Structure 1
């Protein structure tokens, strides 16, 4: 038993591969370009699924990253939990991948909501408690509120929960293609699908409303950023602003790849492409 444990520990020590080192290098390079310093970094690797054929193994594991960032007179802690997998043949790692973002398949991602409001109606503002939305985002960034369904691609579901915690009103219950709502056993597409929420925020005139900003630094904690990684018009990801760095740039929380106080641009993401497009939404009109 001790020999098996030592063998497995040796394999795990070598799972932190050159690919992951490059990914972390890009992340650290981003801090340097923004005039920030990584003062302390801690990492933890933990396997959660393993399939073995003789001495061949397929291993799924998580890397938990904690980075203490010095940002001028400020400091903050960036945290993230990233999914990885590798194929081990004997005692040699044959193939390894790190996945920082998991995206919906195109068939599920291209859901554009219908609006139940009349176009001529003026936007109706609501009272948005940004502090409570951020408090919720911080509380649940690396766990899941049992009051809501947990999705495999959970980013927009998590953001919708944050918005709801801040007092965003639900509208359009029982028609999944209309409005923004959650009722326990059912929910609108805009509640859980990034592309749907992006278009809902652009067009809603009642209930959850927002105005579009032209730059990320115009956002405040509690506001929302939507991401189209491929630049193909299909939005894949959603985050919530929880803080701002010394330059006034947003730091965001997200689910699917659970992360906290991550720099908003996601240039360190495995889903990032030079064609990436963003939409910046100020919640509350």
Structure 2
């Protein structure tokens, strides 16, 4: 579809759009002393419907970026859903599909790690990262998939690394998943952030001051609006040439993304972060 290809090129090369995530991504890596040397995009349509004489389409665009930093290269991948209308052979209203976080907000529970008693576990960071790489752009059928899936994905990675579950069956206690039930901290970004701040049993996290202190397998929490409601979680899977984290995530599925999310459409200047080292090391 030649018209769609032209629209795609226009959409991502519009230098007038100062808020474009693409422009912010280029600036982000430039400020890191790096360059995006190759870009590839592949689209896959997943929904089509007609209404009032118009055709509406939704598709997933799999972006691949080859990034050179000093003498090192790495590949970043990002999958974003888009939609547009097809009217008289022209693409109209081409945009990213709006996210609807309401399903998570209904469970916006302030959950702290309330259990007393010191407990340590051995955390297999490599196993957690391997799981994160295996499922970054797909969904393990052993678990439920959520509309806002970032925390569910991170929890699965932690579990793959040997983090012990506890608190069942109380959903507002502990961190656990069982059958068709789970704790709030397993699947809700806000709840996992507060759970990690206080847990002394089962899964544990130790807050550190900076992203640079994190290791692969550790967790970053994001409050995009800076309003105290935590929106997103990622898992560190690698470090860049300057020792800063690269992360994987779900919802907008991404791999080897720079940790700060300055290129995200959800980013605001008020963003705040929490950094958690997992396990006893």
Same fold by TM-score greater than 0.5: yes
- Which ranges of structure 1 fall in alignment gaps of 5 or more residues? 1-8
Q: TM-score, normalised by structure 2?
A: 0.92
Select which of 23, 42, 45 maps to 1:47: 45
Q: C-alpha distance in 2, partners of 1:253/1:269?
A: 13
Deviation of the 1:47 alpha carbon: 1.8
Report if aligned partners of 1:104, 1:236 keep a CA contact under 8 Å in 2.
Answer: no
Report if aligned partners of 2:128, 2:160 keep a CA contact under 8 Å in 1.
Answer: yes
Report if aligned partners of 2:112, 2:191 keep a CA contact under 8 Å in 1.
Answer: no
Once the two structures are overlaid, the 10-residue window that deviates more, 103-112 or 124-133, is 103-112
- Which ranges of structure 2 fall in alignment gaps of 5 or more residues? 14-19
Q: Which residue of 2 aligns with 1:3?
A: none
Q: Which residue of 1 aligns with 2:88?
A: 90
Q: Which residue of 1 aligns with 2:184?
A: 189
Q: Is it true that 1:160 corresponds to 2:155 in the alignment?
A: yes
Q: C-alpha distance in 1, partners of 2:138/2:201?
A: 31
Report if aligned partners of 2:103, 2:148 keep a CA contact under 8 Å in 1.
Answer: no
Q: Is it true that 1:20 corresponds to 2:15 in the alignment?
A: no
Secondary structure of the 2:55 match is: strand
Q: C-alpha distance in 1, partners of 2:27/2:119?
A: 43
Once the two structures are overlaid, the 10-residue window that deviates more, 65-74 or 165-174, is 65-74
CA distance 1:62–1:15, change in 2 (3 Å):
farther
Select which of 48, 71, 75 maps to 1:73: 71
Select which of 141, 145, 168 maps to 1:146: 141
CA distance 1:104–1:133, change in 2 (3 Å):
farther
Q: TM-score, normalised by structure 1?
A: 0.90
Give CA deviations for 1:76-98 in whole Å, capped at 9, x if unaligned: 11011111112232223331212
Q: Which residue of 1 aligns with 2:16?
A: none
Report if aligned partners of 1:65, 1:80 keep a CA contact under 8 Å in 2.
Answer: yes
Q: Which residue of 2 aligns with 1:6?
A: none
The CA RMSD over aligned residues, in Å, is 1.8
Give CA deviations for 1:103-147 in whole Å, capped at 9, x if unaligned: 4457325212254513xx4x3221000011001000111111111
Report if aligned partners of 1:20, 1:98 keep a CA contact under 8 Å in 2.
Answer: no
Report if aligned partners of 2:104, 2:148 keep a CA contact under 8 Å in 1.
Answer: no
Deviation of the 1:265 alpha carbon: 0.5
Q: Which residue of 2 aligns with 1:62?
A: 60
Q: Which residue of 1 aligns with 2:256?
A: 261
Deviation of the 1:17 alpha carbon: 5.8
Deviation of the 1:70 alpha carbon: 1.2
Deviation of the 1:33 alpha carbon: 1.3
Deviation of the 1:71 alpha carbon: 1.4
**Matched length:** 274
Q: Is it true that 1:247 corresponds to 2:242 in the alignment?
A: yes
Q: Which residue of 2 aligns with 1:223?
A: 218
Q: Which residue of 2 aligns with 1:271?
A: 266
Deviation of the 1:15 alpha carbon: 4.0
